[in-house]
Amino acid sequence: MPDVYKTDAYKVDGMTCGGCARSVSNAITKAAPDAAVTVDLATGTVLVAGGIPAELVRQAVEAAGFDFGGAAA
Ligand SMILES: [Cu+2]
């Protein structure tokens, strides 16, 4: 049973502007409609709330054309 309150942080490389942030956010939300996505452009970090599986996030990020860097420390 997924923990809907869980928030995961990931590194995503290649985001340079608000448009990139939106692309990534939209891609993840499309793949996981329950996700709440927050992008921190300065650090290249994407916060995904909703207990979304990492593999699903990875596929969405890569399909949008960005590099998925795995879990952020
Ligand atoms: Cu951009």
Distance in Å, CA 64 to ligand 1 centroid: 12
- Quote the CA–CA distance of 29 and 8 in Å, as a whole number: 14
Give a yes or no: residue 1 inside a domain.
no
Residue 45, token pair as written in the block: 């970090």
Distance in Å, CA 1 to ligand 1 centroid: 35
The total number of structural domains that make up the chain: 1
Give a yes or no: residue 56 inside a domain.
yes
Sign of CA dihedral 13, 19, 24, 27: negative
Give a yes or no: residue 36 inside a domain.
yes
Domain of 65, in residue numbers: 7-71
Name the pTM for this structure.
0.92
Give a yes or no: residue 20 inside a domain.
yes
Which residues have their alpha-adjacent CB atom under 5 A from ion ligand 1?
16-17, 19-20
Give a yes or no: residue 13 inside a domain.
yes
pLDDT in tens, 39-64: 999 999 999 999 999 999 999 999 99
pLDDT of residue 2: 57
- Quote the CA–CA distance of 32 and 28 in Å, as a whole number: 6
Give a yes or no: residue 40 inside a domain.
yes
CATH number at residue 58: 3.30.70.100
